[in-house]
């Protein structure tokens, strides 16, 4: 069994001249390159899709400036790990060494308390923080930390960049040099990689190792035949991401907690962002449960807040509890169909005037022309109800809300019938 590191690691660039892509940041005269060359480096956040070189760029920066480099992953690091690294960095500073670089991969997965633990070290100049995220840092990084960091946006690698990586690997890697490799087609390799450089090189290596010959001609057909069936079953940036979240939502909508928890586990095992999962459950709580069980939305919101505060792996318990609750809850899409019907009516009828009796009359002129006339204050009547028209005249009597057939909405249905008579007769 080979003890060599993977091809993606063997091909990791060692300096900015070897680095592929992001010319707008590190090309000659670009803003980040000038900061590196001046040695005046701010704390920063790298925001971009997977596999575009965020980790590599952070390491190159530290090496270019001869700075100690510490690296943590937000997936498996907690406040204790952060504090230990900060203590080590502080000792290095006291011994006269250059300002260390602390790289936090997937910083958006850190809870608020974990991000707070970084703040003091950044403020006191103990470390230069470089965070990497695939999510918009405006929403995922606390404002106090974000305000002390420069955000740099890393762009997806172009097709030319990816082809260059493959050609460089074929020509320079000591293992691949021993094989006679020609690449006739690039399309399947690039498509399966999803634009992720690390994944592209891993697929390329998997393909080469799968072919028992020293003469290898790579075509689209060869790639699909040898690689696709061996690829991981979950890719949070690719098609499987959308297929699995679809299966997850449909399992909850279909009231199957077994299926829902299974697809939840698939996403957690595949490294899916737990906040993405929690957001999807918030939407489902209104879209598919709605007023059949209003508590579903409250629990989904509590789940989202808890995941933000606690982080993984403990959040998987909270996610599981919420998934099971949503899957076993009564279902209704009446809120979804009501807003859909209302939006269609607005598109069809345009900006209909507000009936005069529903308009405010803050001035004497408005009162004189009838604003607010004949409006009746519901709380002044028995049962806090008065029979008024609340739709524009042109669409008076239009029914938009159709209660679902469940105990809670059946109760609402009876109440509406009692109040409104035929206007809410279902």
- Shared domain for 283 and 307, answered yes or no, is yes
Residue 194, domain CATH: 1.10.8
Report field, pTM of the whole predicted structure over 0.85: no
For residue 135, pLDDT beyond 90: no
Same domain, 252 and 320: yes
Identify the residue whose tokens are 């279909």: 254
- Cβ atoms within 10 Å of 230's Cβ, excluding its own: 10
Phi, psi (rounded to 5 degrees) for 254: -85, 10
Residue 294 pLDDT = 92
Q: What is the CA radius of gyration of the chain?
A: 29
Q: Are residues 145 and 166 in the same domain?
A: no
Q: What is the pLDDT of residues 379-393, one digit of tens each?
A: 888 888 888 888 888
| Residue 104, domain CATH | 3.40.50.300
- Residue 104: phi, psi to the nearest 5? -115, 110
In a domain? residue 99 = yes
Domain boundary among 195, 230, 265: 230
Q: What is the pLDDT of residue 139?
A: 77
Predicted confidence at residue 203, as pLDDT, reads: 84
- Residues 91 and 145 grouped into a single domain: yes
Q: Per the structure block, which two tokens stand in for 44?
A: 């920063």
Do both 255 and 358 map to the same domain? no
Which of 270, 297, 328 terminates a domain? The answer is 328
pLDDT tens digits for range 20-74: 888 898 888 888 888 888 888 888 999 988 888 888 899 998 888 888 888 888 7
Tell me which residue range forms the domain holding 254: 239-328
**Tokens for 115?**
């991000």
Are 224 and 291 part of one and the same domain? no
What tokens were used for 40? 């005046």
**What is the model's pLDDT at position 13?**
87
Instruction: List pLDDT tens digits, range 289-316.
Output: 999 999 999 999 999 999 888 877 888 9
Is there a domain that residue 335 lies in?
no
- Same domain? 255 vs 369: no
Compare 88 and 243 and report the one with higher pLDDT.
88
Are 149 and 58 contained in the same domain?
A: yes
Mean pLDDT of 182-210: 82
Question: Does some domain include residue 345?
Answer: no
Residues 133 and 168 in one domain: no
User: pLDDT tier at 317 (50, 70, 90 boundaries)?
Assistant: very high
Q: pLDDT tens-digit profile of 77-87?
A: 777 888 888 88
Same structural domain for residues 75 and 142?
A: yes
Evaluate whether residue 304 is within a structural domain: yes
CB-CB contact of 20 with 165 (8 Å): yes
Q: Does the residue 14 lie in any domain? A: no
Average pLDDT of every residue of the chain: 84
Judge if 25 and 146 occupy the same domain.
yes
The answer as to whether 184 is a domain residue is: yes
CATH code (residue 292): 1.20.272.10
- Residue 426 confidence class, pLDDT cut points 50, 70, 90: low
| Pairwise CA distance, residues 197 & 245, whole Å | 24
30 and 149, same domain (yes or no): yes
Domain contains 339: no
Task: Please say if the pLDDT value at position 407 is more than 70.
Answer: yes
Q: How many domains does the chain have?
A: 4
Residue at which a domain ends, from 213, 230, 247: 230
Examine residue 168 and state whether it is found in any structural domain, yes or no: yes
Query: What digits encode the pLDDT tens for the residues 351-377?
Result: 888 887 777 777 777 677 777 787 888
């Amino acid at each position: 069994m080979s003890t060599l590191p993977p091809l993606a690691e063997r091909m990791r660039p060692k300096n900015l001249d070897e680095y592929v892509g992001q010319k707008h940041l590190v090309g000659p005269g670009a803003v980040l390159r000038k900061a590196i060359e001046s040695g005046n480096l701010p704390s920063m956040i790298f925001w971009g899709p997977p596999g575009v070189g965020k980790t590599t760029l952070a390491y190159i920066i530290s090496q270019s400036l001869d700075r100690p480099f510490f690296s943590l992953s937000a997936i498996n690091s907690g406040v204790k790990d952060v504090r230990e690294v900060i203590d080590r960095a502080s000792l290095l500073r006291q011994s006269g060494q250059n300002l260390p670089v602390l790289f936090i991969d997937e910083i958006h997965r850190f809870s608020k308390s974990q991000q707070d633990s970084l703040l003091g070290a950044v403020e006191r100049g103990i470390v230069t923080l470089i965070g990497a995220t695939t999510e918009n840092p405006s929403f995922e990084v606390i404002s106090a930390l974000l305000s002390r960091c420069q955000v740099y946006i890393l762009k997806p690698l172009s097709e030319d960049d990816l082809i260059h990586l493959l050609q460089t690997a074929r020509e320079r890697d000591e293992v691949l040099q021993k094989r006679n490799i020609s690449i006739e087609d690039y399309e399947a390799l690039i498509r399966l990689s999803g634009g992720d450089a690390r994944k592209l090189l891993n697929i390329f290596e998997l393909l080469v190792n799968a072919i028992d010959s020293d003469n290898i001609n790579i075509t689209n057909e060869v790639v699909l035949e040898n690689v696709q069936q061996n690829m991981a079953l979950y890719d949070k940036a690719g098609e499987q991401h959308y297929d699995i979240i679809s299966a997850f939502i449909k399992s909850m909508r279909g009231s199957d907690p077994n299926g829902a928890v299974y697809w939840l586990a698939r996403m957690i095992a595949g490294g899916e962002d737990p906040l993405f999962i929690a957001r999807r459950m918030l939407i489902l709580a209104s879209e598919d449960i709605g007023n059949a069980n209003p508590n579903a939305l409250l629990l989904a919101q509590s789940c989202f807040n808890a995941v933000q505060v606690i982080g993984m792996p403990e959040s998987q318990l909270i996610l599981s509890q919420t998934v099971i609750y949503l899957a076993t809850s009564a279902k209704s899409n009446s809120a979804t169909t009501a807003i859909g019907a209302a939006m269609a009516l607005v598109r069809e009828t345009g900006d209909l005037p507000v009936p005069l009796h529903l308009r405010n009359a803050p001035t004497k002129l408005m009162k004189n022309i009838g604003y607010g006339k004949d409006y009746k204050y519901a709380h002044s009547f028995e049962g806090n109800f008065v029979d008024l028209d609340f739709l524009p005249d042109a669409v008076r009597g239009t029914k938009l809300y159709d209660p679902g057939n469940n105990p809670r909405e059946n109760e609402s249905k009876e109440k509406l019938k009692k109040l409104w008579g035929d206007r809410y007769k279902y």
